[in-house]
Amino acid sequence: MAKLAIIGGTGLNKMSDFHVIRREVVHTPFGEPSAALTHGVLTDNEVIFLPRHGPAHNIPPHKVNYRANLWALKHIGVDRVIGVAAVGGISAEMSPGRVIIPDQIIDYTYGRDHTLFEYDLNQVTHIDFTQPYCEQLRKRLIVAGITTGQNIADTGTYGVTQGPRLETAKEISRMERDGCDLVGMTGMPETSLARELDLCYASCAVVANWAAGKGDQPISMEEIEKNLLVGMRNVRALLENLLQTSQT
């Protein structure tokens, strides 16, 4: 049976009816993943959960071992991955608390290990990244969001910055001119590595705050936490509906 994995924060552990079966430690050629892989059952479907920033949420975005994370999931038989991420809203419609299923991505990161194809190659390997996300999985997420009554955004361009600092107002202005609708720090190379491993990958982004210069007030952790509380509740409802209505 196909296996679905969710990469994200601790919110999954609070999903109703998510029963943890076991935790599996996987060693990879690229080092250690962020955490042991948590096998569980949700709505009668097997789900594997991986906390991107570690169990204690102490791995910053630029230090996440994205290669190990994706390789470990592929190694245990996962073929579909949903990457849940907190982002900042740039476009006017990307308001705090809203859930976005992006369809495009722009990479502003640097210095990250961004490919599996480096050593001992028989030939140089390229991937087609014209459409970075798995459209089949994107559509399923969109339908699940609509079914649960959410004002879900079914399109958007995710601009990925290096972090861990937040951006300046002028950087956000540049990203807006580039066509970015939202900004986050973990979308790349997670998305492209999934493509290299032939994994069906889609992003489920929660707007935690207005990006720099887009809101009336300075960005605060209190605001972010408040918006994530609402947004992650919607994500959990979306994921539960997705699993209830179709087989993974």
Chain Cα centroid distance, residue 141: 13
Annotated binding-site positions for substrate: 185, 209-211
Exposed / middle / buried, residue 44 (Cβ in 10 Å: 0-12, 13-18, 19+)? exposed
Annotated binding-site positions for phosphate: 10, 52-53, 186
Exposed / middle / buried, residue 223 (Cβ in 10 Å: 0-12, 13-18, 19+)? middle
Q: In the chain, at which residue ranges do the beta strands (DSSP E only) sit?
A: 3-8, 19-24, 37-42, 45-51, 78-89, 99-100, 104-107, 157-160, 182-184, 200-210
Annotated binding-site positions: 10, 52-53, 185-186, 209-211
CA–CA dist 128, 139 (Å, integer): 20
- Report in angstroms the alpha-carbon separations of 29 from 119, 194, 200: 12, 16, 22
